Chains A and B, each alone.
Chain A
Amino acid sequence: MNKATDHPLVQLTLMRMREFIREPEALFWALIFPIALAAGLGIAFRNQPPQVLKIAAVTPRIAEGLRQEKLLDVMQLPAALAEQSLRTGKVALLAEPGPDGTVVYRYDDTNPEGRSARMLADQAMQRSAGRQDPVSTSDNILREPGSRYIDFLIPGLIGMGIMGNSIWGLGFSIVDARRKKLMKRIVATPMPRSYYLLSFLLWRLILLPVEIGVPLAFGVLVFGVPIRGSFFALAGACLLASLAFSAGGLLLASRVRTIEAVSGLMNMTMVPMWILSGVFFSSQRFPDTVQPVIKALPLTAIIDALRANMLQGAGLAQMAPQAGVLAAWAAGCFVIALKLFRWR
């Protein structure tokens, strides 16, 4: 044994590392699961090419006119069959001749597809009949990374991962050690008690680059998710979040003696944040009255900070409010946890 590894803090941190690495399930939930989730959701919500709308036309002349529009898939059908197709939703619109050479569009105006089809169909009809547009226009189509669902999701998953790993990592380990009386046994040695808590922190810090790096690298390499802001600001935000959630885990585990009780407390803490903090969908969808509460949650803070950094290129200054929220949670939880903490 050499001198450096003889230090209690090193030995305690090694214990945390060994307990984690030798538990395959912990490894799976912390690292593999977020990737699987991101891959699944990324594929499910991938941006599809512009949809071609199916419409029906009753006469060959109308069908001919409508086919001028490339975004319409025009089927020429007998009247009865066309009507049935419209009613069953197989086509978004039905074009049929009206009296005196007019054209009648039949569609559901509460259905966005119906309205789009109406616009496209009418444009095609008018142009084929010789309408000239007074202003000539052209399209410049932009499908940029940063505005897709996967770009929104990856920062959410990183935030969720930091929260889950920190709260579980501390909460479970502390209560397990207390339940098995291992904590009491270690406290019965000359080891300074602060080392015991510091070893958790050290281990979290060692694991943090992996926790963030794995989903981030996956998002960047597989889906081309952008990182527009400073990488140091991003790392700093994650570090603060890790401290805040670790302090939260410490607080939740400060007095509890059973795994069941601490699991309940952890779920009670994390599940509302999964929903409210905008991991999977924007938290803006909740009413304005609860927005201040949502903004004060640590998970909202880290996810907002990550999205601002990665997608909008925000620097440290723009991330300051979120950093403040995270620092307040870290300090508050840590102070209360130390007051409540039960060493046996």
Chain B
Amino acid sequence: MPALATDTALHVRDLRKTYKDVLAVAGIDLEVRAGECFGLLGPNGAGKTTTIEICEGLTEPDSGEVELLGLRWSSNSAALRQRLGIQLQETQLSEKLTVVETLRLFRSFFRQGPGADEALRIVQLEEKRDARVGNLSGGQKQRLALACALVGDPDLLFLDEPTTGLDPQARRQLWDLIEEFKLAGRTILLTTHYMEEAERLCDRVAIMDHGKIISHGTPRELIASIGVEHVVEFSAGNATLDLARVSGMAGVRDVRSVNGTVLMQVTELHKAVPALLEELGRQGVPLTELRTHSASLEDVFVHLTGRHLRDE
């Protein structure tokens, strides 16, 4: 086993940051291991961006310690900048420049790394090489931003909401790219409020809410921690429903009503659904909607906070 210092790419201890009277980060501990993809999952305003920007050395924390690749911002900032690849949320690159001009610009800031054309190949933007940035689609701009993060051949890659605002196809394309980075052995810290993204890309996930990490582990561990395998979602229109009777059914772990939809966490789907239909029939309540899915990180968040990730 290598020593802890080389095994840990990012170490954060008791990080705190307050903006005026808003507590953005309320005491966070994190450890990202070399070679893993670590996700910060949480709703907007949970403090994810503040956390990642403190790690990137762009925001000064009120207190707490950050150690990246065994280095600290206070003493090694020049060396660190050479080794980090950063993609910020909502950066608009200069629209008048072409794709390859933008990459040459960013490449010139780093001592070593792939050339502009090599970076273009990695993010599959070769056919847009000489197009103006202003004429790119949202997904293409995002891939260019990724390429800009790669031109320094970084040891640690920070991706802040890499797929926010993209259509599903562009999102999947970006996921494929990030998966390739993982295969290439890069260490990645990404933030997202899409639970599918965290589930698909991340080896480990920390769920953030109100500036705190409320749970962390592998996606499997987190889902298993709520002790259910399936979720039944149904809606009974405007009819009044006796939820206590539903909660009492066999194999039902947790029942919540969120925005008029009832979420029922169950261990055995094949027993719970017939029982639910029977119970609704007994209460004379009509069923307007019924869905089931395997438990996901979304359900973990709902279980922990009583809210949906994207309700904010």
Residues of chain A whose beta carbon lies under 8 Å from any beta carbon of chain B: 1, 5-8, 10-12, 14-15, 18-19, 22-23, 180-182, 184-191, 344
Contacts and interface: CB of A to CB of B under 8 A. Distances in A.
A251 to B, nearest CB: 23
Interface residues of B, number: 30
B96 A23 contact: yes
Nearest to A344: B58
Contacts of A12: 105
A15 B91 contact: no
Given A1-B115, A190-B110, A190-B152, A19 B94 contact: yes
A232 B63 CA distance: 56
Given A6-B107, A6-B108, 9 more contacts: A11-B105, A180-B91, A182-B92, A182-B94, A185-B148, A186-B109, A187-B58, A188-B56, A190-B111
Interface stretch (B3-11, B29-37, B82-90): B82-90
Contacts of A14: 101, 105
B81 interface: yes
A188 B86 contact: yes
A338 B111 CA distance: 27
A182 B58 contact: no
24 contacts: A1-B116, A10-B108, A11-B105, A15-B105, A18-B94, A19-B97, A22-B96, A181-B92, A182-B91, A182-B92, A182-B93, A184-B91, A186-B109, A188-B56, A188-B81, A188-B86, A189-B81, A189-B110, A189-B152, A190-B81, A190-B110, A190-B111, A190-B152, A344-B58
B104 interface: yes
Contacts of B111: 190
A22 B135 CA distance: 14
Contacts of B92: 180-182
B94 A189 contact: no
Nearest to A183: B91
Contacts of B148: 185
A184 B56 CA distance: 11
B61 to A, nearest CB: 15
Contacts of A186: 109
Q: Which 3 A-B pairs have the closest CB atoms?
A: A180-B92, A190-B81, A189-B109
A180 to B, nearest CB: 4
A184 B57 CA distance: 11
Interface in B68-125: 78, 81-82, 84, 86, 88, 90-94, 96-97, 101, 104-111, 115-116
Contacts of A18: 94, 96-97, 101
Contacts of A22: 96, 132
Contacts of B108: 6-8, 10-11
A181 B90 contact: yes
Nearest to A6: B108
